[in-house]
Chain A
Amino acid sequence: MCLGIPAKVVEIKEQEALVEVAGLKQKIRLDFVPEVKVGDYVIVHAGFGISIFEESEAQETLKLLREADVIP
């Protein structure tokens, strides 16, 4: 039910956006991610955006690993 694939926002029209994931386009509602911009990635659940995917936070892993002293 909770697929974790982030979808790329390609077009925004009022409370809706067109998003693309693996080449497939889909319309979603933006009620819970009103601040989203074209080009952002969102987590989509049953036709609604529920979270903006922070690409910068992808660095989190490295940071956490460093904090955890796993990698230098």
Chain B
Amino acid sequence: MSSLESGEILKRIRGMGVSARFMEVCGTHTVSIARSGLKKLLPDSVKLISGPGCPVCVTSQEDIDYAVALARQPGVIVATFGDMVRVPGTETSLLEARASGGRVEVLYSPMDSLSLARENPKEEVVFLAVGFETTAPLIARTVQIVRAEGIPNLSFLVLHKLIPPAMRALLTRKEVQLDGFILPGHVCAVLGSRPFLFLKEEFHLPGVITGFEPEDVLLALFMLLKQKREDRAEVEIQYRRAVKPEGNIQALKTMEEVFEPQEANWRGLGVIPNSGLGLREPYSGFDTRRRFPLNITGSREYPECRCGEVLRGVISPRECPLFGKACTPDSPVGPCMVSSEGSCAASYHYEERP
């Protein structure tokens, strides 16, 4: 889309005169919106709020502490995606555990954990599987391959979270008033649009599945505002170039075969039924918690950190007293400032003080 068309959409949005608050639930959207300065271009009547869209950020403190405890076990190598290693646990982060002798590896793909396990046959490799529905099928496929190849020294700490149950939990709490959702493009590339129909059925709210260019977001906002004006509540797909209504059938099948829904503990949201995933019986031997039943006690979040409220959209990052002072990307207190997709980090890097 050309900037001419973007300007035209923006003009239309301004001219609609519809007041609305929309939430995005994807860290990549958060970054795209912050980087493009979109909020400043929108009329005051249209507000964008970040929700629980950063997988690293929503990981609970107990789970971070468990991962740190694993890294301190002799003979254990903890492997995970980049942002996870810097999240402060109650005592230390994984990175700090590594500095004091623990083995922590950052991997690009879960498939890299296979070679790590093969190269270290006397060690136990643990893969920390974080991520939403975009990531879960990849981990599911990796678990299938690990089982088929009989790799004995590799297991998975499954911390996956599911987006629709978290959205439902947010709406049920009614802490934030919302008029609709900018829906996550790549989560929906896997899920399709059907799992979001509850928005219409239970809450009469619209959602638009959106791509990641600023123009995509702009067009989605136009579509959401139009729905609101017409009092419609549909799940529409703006990001048709990557999302089919039925999603990715193969990925869904793999996810379904390996995982079953279970309750999960979210930072900021607490325990939500059926919002996480666990390994099904044929694969449960690869569950890290079964291999290392460590007892984690005394987990607590940094007292003044308001990451939880940021994740629920109750406050904006700059309303946290630690923001930019005690908590910066170089010295983060909470995960929302650690992860490149976190709302606090995005606001720190790209947004000026209001």
Q: Is the pair B109, A43 in contact by a Cβ cutoff of 8 Å?
A: no
Answer whether A51 and B243 are a contact pair too, CB < 8 Å, given A29-B141, A32-B137, A43-B189: yes
Number of interface residues of A (CB under 8 A): 29
Return chain A residues, CB-CB under 8 Å to B8.
Answer: 65, 70-71
Q: Is the pair A54, B241 in contact by a Cβ cutoff of 8 Å?
A: yes
Q: Is the pair A31, B254 in contact by a Cβ cutoff of 8 Å?
A: yes
Return chain B residues, CB-CB under 8 Å to A31.
Answer: 141, 250, 254
CB-defined interface of B233-258 with A at 8 Å, one 1/0 digit per residue? 00000101111000010110010000
Return chain A residues, CB-CB under 8 Å to B187.
Answer: 2
Return chain A residues, CB-CB under 8 Å to B56.
Answer: 1
Q: Decide if the interface of chain B is mainly helix, strand, loop or mixed.
A: helix
Number of interface residues of B (CB under 8 A): 47
- The residue from A32, A45, A55 contacting B241, defined by CB atoms under 8 A apart: A55
- The residue from B108, B112, B219, B248 contacting A51, defined by CB atoms under 8 A apart: B248
Report the nearest A residue to B215, measured CB to CB.
A61
Answer whether A61 and B186 are a contact pair too, CB < 8 Å, given A1-B28, A32-B254, A46-B138: no
In the complex, besides A50-B137, A61-B1, A61-B219, 15 extra interface pairs with C-beta distance below 8 angstroms are: A1-B55, A1-B131, A2-B26, A3-B28, A31-B141, A48-B141, A50-B190, A50-B251, A57-B240, A57-B241, A60-B238, A61-B5, A65-B9, A70-B8, A70-B9
